[in-house]
Structure 1
Amino acid sequence: MNQFKAIILAGILINVLPACSKNENVSEPQVYHLEVPEHFPPPAADTENPVTSGGVALGRELFFDTRLSANNNISCASCHLQSKAFSDGVALTSAGASGTSLLRHTPALFNLAWADHGFFWDGGSSNLESQAFGPLTAHDEMGQDLIQLVTELNAVPMYVQSFKTVFNEEIKPQNIVKALAQFEKTLISGSSKYDQYKLRKPGANLSSLELKGMELVRTKCQGCHAGELFTDYSYHNNGIDIDFSNTDHEGIYQGRYRISYDLSDLGSFKTPSLRNLLLTAPYMHDGRFATLQNVIDNYSENIRHSPTLDPLLPKTGMKLTKEEKEAIIAFLATLTDYTFVGNPLLSKH
């Protein structure tokens, strides 16, 4: 996918978003209050695209609508399945309009209201709105022409009325992605077994093995998988590769470096959350590890040292015992949020 072109286009369109928000004729929208778990930090502030009830409802309709793709067969939900915490269970999907396998793994979508350090595995987009233009227009993903998309949506009276109600404007690409972003911010996951234990809910307990795993995660993993969100939303070289000289496909294997041009970012990719890992296999930016056991084994014994290896990682690996690995995996299982993946408010209506 020509992600650079998508990002340039997104930048042009997103730059007009503030102007859209200054329309004096816009009626006061109904504010949507995100259901933030009490032990979570406040979400990132967003004054340019505040979440409204109408915007969330419109974004949900768009998220599940196959009109967003060139062949009218693919929706956002085609590769972001609620049952898999809005991931797809495939290492490198070929479900896009071209049928060509992508070069990166489809990320899970949840707790995006806290993500304020960029999107995509390399941070190539600065916000949810501009990020949406990437898959919408990429040839190997949804492959949609934005002008054609506006035409198709204008043929649906419900959309014409909804965009007018939510944005007090006709259907425009920038408002399509604004609505999608508002819905995506409601994808909040914080009701796992661990969360119930953390909040001292009646009957919520962790086993001795799970507690041991929790302590191991805190001491060995939370340098990157930080806080209650279990991610710092930043970028790290986690030691799975040592050669980043391949510049094919716009340097997509170089990680954050292809965006920052900072040599210290070679091989650095965005930290995924540890939440819902039982539902989001396979793992890493290219889906190379099929199981959590593969991931833990790699961090334990197979760290590959390169000049940009994150200093938080021991060069020789974590050297975990079999019992420690079992404990970590047991604790990670407690981060599975079955309430989230079964929430009807996040499903197609």
Structure 2
Amino acid sequence: MKPTAPRRLAAPLLALLLGACGEGPFDIESGPFPRHLPEGMTVIPSPEDNPLTPEGIALGRWLFHSPRLSSNGQVSCATCHEPARAFADDAALTRRGVSGRPLARHAPALINLAWMDGLFWDGGAKNLESLSLAPLTHPDEMGNTQLPLMMARLEAQPEVVERFEATFGPGSLTLSNLLRSLAQFQRTLVSADSRYDQWRRGEPGAHLAPQEQRGLALVQRHCAPCHGTELFTDNAYHNNGLDPDEAFGEDEAESRGRGRVTQRPEDAGHYKTPTLRNVAVTAPYMHDGRFATLEEVLAHYRGGMVSSTTLDAAFLQDGQPPGLPLTPEDMADVLAFLQTLTDEQFLTEERLRAPQEP
């Protein structure tokens, strides 16, 4: 990703969104769709069997924020994915699930999921329609270890039945439709209105300070192998030098990362590249939340990386310890640029928060 002069959008975003999501006079100001897409994106992709609709998105939003989906009626998806934190969690390994026990991995931010290829830290879910099954059924998260019991509980609640039938028609309260509506809402978790985005679009008054532009250039130079697109993730899995080989575990151990899914030794210790968008508000960092600050993250890349047999080649230089050649001044510049990726509109957008109950 090379520095690019900002430019204006070539077409009204509303028309582009409607082309992706079906016909209809949707209100872009108060409706369910985002105002902007990342530079270079023209539609929000969705599968043919689950197109985006205002009704489906609204139902998914309600379900995402509703504790009715948990076995104890007290935990929602938003419990561990807070809108003000870019749908992340402030605990390294949260205890907010139904069991109160810490999870094995940090709850990731939910940003621009419509363009993600593989979900979760290890890519264990292939698409958004299957994503929610894991937290719904995990005994430490939402606790629905028997899905028929969850569906029976929901079917006994007239309001839930009414909401599904208003969206999908009579007799539509099914697990498939529940997952489809959650997927629709999560596809609209689009972050593309940070100061960086406004500068890229050439909006009046938008600018990056000299230090921020130096930081952008450093990110493009040193971080592009993993964060080199407008999504600021390559959608791939990497070992970024957190642990030695003996820490990767065996069989289905969570510590194997991508290797848990593929069962290939070369994938042990590999984890999904998180987006840098809103990274200033999504602490702590890494799959286990081991770093509390961005300063700690950069210090790791500068001189704290651990060698292992599956360490990504991007961090290896002949005769040198693994890492990135960053000076203290470089680190300050990178930190300044990362702040420009905070999308205040996304963090406060009413359409993404819990809906008002009637």
TM over 0.5: yes
User: Where does residue 89 of structure 2 map in the other structure?
Assistant: 88
Match of 1:160 in 2: 161
Once residues 79 and 34 of structure 2 are traced to their aligned partners in structure 1, the CA distance between those partners, rounded to angstroms, is: 25
Q: Could you tell me the TM-score, scaled by structure 1's length?
A: 0.87
Q: Find the aligned partners of 2:246 and 2:289 in 1 and give their Cα distance.
A: 17
Separation (CA, whole Å) in 1 of partners of 2:141 and 2:23: 33
Residue 205 of structure 1 deviates from its aligned partner by 1.0
Greater CA drift, 151-160 or 105-114: 151-160
1-side partners of 2:285 and 2:115: how far apart? 21
Tell me by how many angstroms 1:262 deviates: 2.0
The question of whether the paired residues in 2 share the 8 Å contact of 1:67 and 1:149 is answered with no
CA distance in 1, matches of 2:119, 2:301: 24
Normalising by structure 2, we get a TM-score of 0.85
CA distance in 1, matches of 2:264, 2:131: 22
Q: Contact 1:29/1:166 (CA < 8 Å) preserved in 2?
A: no
**In structure 2, what is the equivalent of residue 121 of structure 1?**
121
CA contact (8 A) 2:75 2:97 kept: yes
Could you tell me whether the CA contact under 8 Å between 2:46 and 2:52 is conserved in 1?
no
For residue 309 of structure 2, what is the aligned residue in structure 1? 307
Q: Say yes or no: does 1:286 pair with 2:288.
A: yes
Q: Which moved more, 1:213-222 or 1:34-43?
A: 34-43
1:236 equivalent in alignment to 2:242: no
Match of 2:297 in 1: 295
- Of the three residues 327, 331, 342, the one matched with 1:325 is 331
Candidates 341, 346, 354, aligned match of 1:340: 346
For the 8 Å contact 1:92–1:106, the answer to whether it is kept is yes
TM-fit CA distance, 1:167: 2.7
Query: What is the CA–CA distance in structure 2 between the aligned matches of 1:326 and 1:240, rounded to whole Å?
Result: 22
What are the Cα deviations for residues 279-317 of structure 1, in whole angstroms up to 9, with x where unaligned?
100000000000000000000111212121111223521
User: 2:41 maps to what in 1?
Assistant: 41
From 263, 266, 279, give the equivalent of 1:264: 266
**Partners of 1:140 and 1:224 in 2: CA distance:** 31
> Helix, strand or coil: the match of 2:313?
coil
Partner Cα separation in structure 1 for residue 257 and residue 312 of structure 2: 13
Structure 1: 5+ residue stretches without partners: 1-27
- Given that 1:193 and 1:204 are in contact with CA atoms closer than 8 Å, whether structure 2 keeps it comes out as yes
Of 178, 181, 194, the residue aligned with 2:183 is 181
CA-CA distance at 1:38 after TM superposition: 5.8
> SS where residue 285 of structure 1 aligns?
coil
Q: CA deviation at 1:232?
A: 1.1
* Cα distance in 2 between the residues matched to 1:213 and 1:170: 51
The 3 A distance-change label for structure 1 pair 124 and 219 is same
Contact 2:241–2:306 (CA under 8 A) maintained in structure 1:
yes
Distance change >3 Å, CA 245–CA 290, structure 1 → 2: closer
Superposed CA deviations along residues 212-269 of structure 1, whole A, max 9, x for unmatched, are 0000000100111121110011111111111245537931101101111222211100
Output one character per residue of 1:71-91: Cα deviation in whole Å (capped at 9) or x when no partner: 111000101100100001110
- Residue 322 of structure 2 is matched in structure 1 by 316
Root-mean-square deviation (Å): 1.9
Amino acid at match of 1:127: N
Deviation at 1:148, TM superposition (A): 2.7
SS in 2 for 1:250: coil
Residue 137 of structure 1 corresponds to 137
- The 3-state SS of whatever aligns with 2:154 is helix
Further displaced range: 44-53 or 272-281: 44-53
SS of equivalent to 2:177: helix
Count of aligned residue pairs for this structure pair: 321
Q: Once structures 1 and 2 are overlaid, which stretch shifts more, 244-253 or 327-336?
A: 244-253
Task: Deviation per CA, 1:130-186: give whole Å up to 9, x if none.
Answer: 120100010011102422322232233333233223333431112111111100111
Percent identity (aligned): 44
Name the SS of the counterpart of 2:310 in structure 1.
coil
Question: Structure 1 CA distance, aligned partners of 2:23 and 2:74?
Answer: 32
Which residue of 1 is the match for residue 4 of structure 2?
none
Between 258-267 and 207-216, the greater mean CA deviation after superposition:
258-267
- Structure 2: state its 5+ residue gaps: 1-21, 27-31
